Amino acid sequence: MNIPAQPMATSSVSVGGGESRVSKAKDKVKMNAENVKVFYGDAQAINGIDLDIYENEVLAFIGPSGCGKSTFLRCLNRMNDTIDICRVEGKITLDHNDIYAPDRDVVLLRAQVGIVFQKPNPFPKSIYENIAYGPRLHGLARRKAELDDIVESSLRRAGLWEEVKDRLDKPGTGLSGGQQQRLCIARTVAVSPDIILMDEPCSALDPIATAKVEQLIDELSESYTIVMVTHNMQQAARVADRTAFFHMGDLVEVDTTDQIFTNPQDQRTHDYITGRFG
């Protein structure tokens, strides 16, 4: 898993079956960001970003540490609201509705735009309760049987069902790191969001667990739009349809993953993916 010294060959990029989906994905804009600026107190973290996110695509954000990619990701479901000193300017729409509009309910937004964090953070409750919490919260299941169905299908989608079906009442915190992360993905999937945000979902996992999560992302992209932040350029190359390169709070370049890794338009992108900095 070492950083490639040269731009990647086209063949290795298409591992995730990217090309076939890119053409399909271009159809419809799911989310749109217009001149988004983020401030932490007086310091500006994001300097005006414009970006379209298409339905059912996997979009990866790459860039050196502190470039603002996680900050921007957290704007997409307003997780930045929880930070007191954080201020967001500009406009972000989901299905053409402004998500920062004053009458916008952030609870509904987060049910539509789920998030998976860098460090697995299951609730200190049973595996079943971890998954069932979201659907129960939003009243998605009226009867116990319906809830059981949601729990099973979510765990199946996260590829965790076979491993945990006999111990659903055991604490979710007792699972291995990789299993915990897939549990968190299942927890997000259980609410049936349109978009899943992933903030470096594999950075705390070993290579085998990483491979499982990447495969899962690939499968999930059939039904969800996925936006992920990653430090690992190969991971972006493996799973993303499109890749966006961030640098110093700017969105430098966004294009199909093939294009970014083989033929970057900007010198900074070129330098980053060839390992000159970052």
User: Inter-axis angle of helices 127-137 and 177-189, to 10 degrees?
Assistant: 20
What are the tokens at 224? 């969800």
Based on the shown chain and the rule CB under 8 A, indicate whether residue 122 belongs to the binding site for another protein.
yes
Based on the shown chain and the rule CB under 8 A, indicate whether residue 71 belongs to the binding site for another protein.
no
- The kind and range of the H/E element at 62 are strand 58-62
Any idea which residue has 């039904």 for tokens?
223
Which one of 82, 139, 144, 166 is in contact with another protein (CB under 8 A)? 82
Is residue 252 within 8 A of residue 268, CB to CB? The reply is yes
- CA 15, CA 13: separation in Å to the nearest integer? 5
Comparison of 26 and 136: residue with beta carbon closer to another protein: 136
Of the candidate spans 39-47, 58-66, 92-100, 120-128, the one that interacts with another protein by CB under 8 A turns out to be: 120-128
Q: How far is the CB of 86 from another protein (least distance, A)?
A: 12
Based on the shown chain and the rule CB under 8 A, indicate whether residue 167 belongs to the binding site for another protein.
no
Of the candidate spans 89-97, 133-141, 156-164, 232-240, the one that interacts with another protein by CB under 8 A turns out to be: 133-141
DSSP of 217-278? HHHHTTTSEEEEE-S-HHHHHHH-SEEEEEETTEEEEEEEHHHHHHS-SSHHHHHHHTTS--
Of the candidate spans 24-32, 79-87, 146-154, 158-166, the one that interacts with another protein by CB under 8 A turns out to be: 79-87
Neighbours of 14 (CB within 10 A): 15
Q: How far is the CB of 139 from another protein (least distance, A)?
A: 11
Counts of helices then strands in the chain (DSSP H, E): 12, 10
Q: For the chain, report the end-to-end CA distance as a whole number of angstroms.
A: 16
Based on the shown chain and the rule CB under 8 A, indicate whether residue 238 belongs to the binding site for another protein.
no
Comparison of 116 and 251: residue with beta carbon closer to another protein: 116
Strands 58-62, 225-229: pairing kind: parallel
According to CB under 8 A, which residues from 174 to 213 bind another protein? 184, 187-188, 191
Comparison of 77 and 225: residue with beta carbon closer to another protein: 77
Based on the shown chain and the rule CB under 8 A, indicate whether residue 133 belongs to the binding site for another protein.
yes
Of the candidate spans 23-31, 44-52, 109-117, 219-227, the one that interacts with another protein by CB under 8 A turns out to be: 109-117
- Residues in touch with another protein (CB under 8 A): 77, 79, 82, 84, 107-111, 114-117, 119, 121-124, 133-134, 137-138, 173, 184, 187-188, 191
